[in-house]
Amino acid sequence: MSNWLKIPANRTFLLLLLLLIAVNVFATLTQNMLLLKWSKPFFIPIFLVYYFSKNGFVGTFFWIFVLLSFFADSTSVFVENSVYLKTSSIIYGASYACLVFMVMQKLRSIHLDKVVGLYLVVVFLINIFFMVKLYDILKFSISDTIELTMFTIRAVALVALALVAFVMYLNEDNKQSIMFLMMALSFVFSDVLYYINNYYIYNWGFVAMERALHVTGLFFLFKYVIEQNRELKKQLVFQRKQEEAPTASLLHNY
């Protein structure tokens, strides 16, 4: 951590992030809804600036996720609460789907044995069971059919993301897969608190925890993408060296 803080860009990012978190904590403690709404859209730009200080390349699906997340975070500022719940749910659901598509290339190369594959099927069926039960509960909490459909789409996309992250972790069990799993779990628990706050009991402590988990998920996601880009650069450099080696050997012999 001390080596990480020696880099000026990292210190600036951490300072801005802590400042924004402090603003969110203050808004939560003072129950300032206006400040709470306006502070959330700033998280994505701060993480994006940090990302570009480390990388210049942005993948298509990751770029779409960033845009969708920013729009979802900003909807509470520009639309009313009832419209916000519908709009943000579908946009967040689409952003989670983008993350699934982002790692589809890695999933194609995954080879699991029969025992692990059976275990994943059982986990998938359990998730489907809980999704059906959750839908039955939501029917009594959400009277608006459109809002119920939007929230269900968001939940399904999030379950798919968590399952994909779990598969990656079981297959690779490395630093990158752990970060992706932590990102997915952070988003899951953040959305659970979002559901409790909006459809059961509104609690300022839950609001603060929801916001903290959402930021944690973003942190692990951006770290994952940065680490993946570093690995890709290393592979490209290695491939270039391998391609140049025969040419250099021929010139030496000549």
Residue 24: both structure tokens together? 């969110």
Residues whose CB falls within 8 Å of the CB of residue 193, separated by 6 or more in sequence, listed in order: 206, 207, 209, 210, 213
Return the pLDDT at 96.
93
Return the pLDDT at 111.
66
Helix, strand, coil percent content, the chain, rounded in steps of 5:
90, 0, 10
Average pLDDT per consecutive 10 residues, the chain (254 residues; last block may be shorter): 62 80 81 80 84 73 90 78 77 91 75 66 73 71 77 86 85 82 90 82 82 89 85 72 61 48
Return the pLDDT at 65.
92
Give the whole-angstrom CA distance, residue 202 versus residue 27: 15
Helix (H) or strand (E) holding 44: helix 43-54
Return the pLDDT at 247.
54
Give the whole-angstrom CA distance, residue 104 versus residue 124: 17
Tokens 């789409």 found at? 153
Q: What is the pTM of this model?
A: 0.82
Residue 115: both structure tokens together? 């025992």
State how far Cα 240 lies from the chain centre: 33
Return the pLDDT at 80.
64
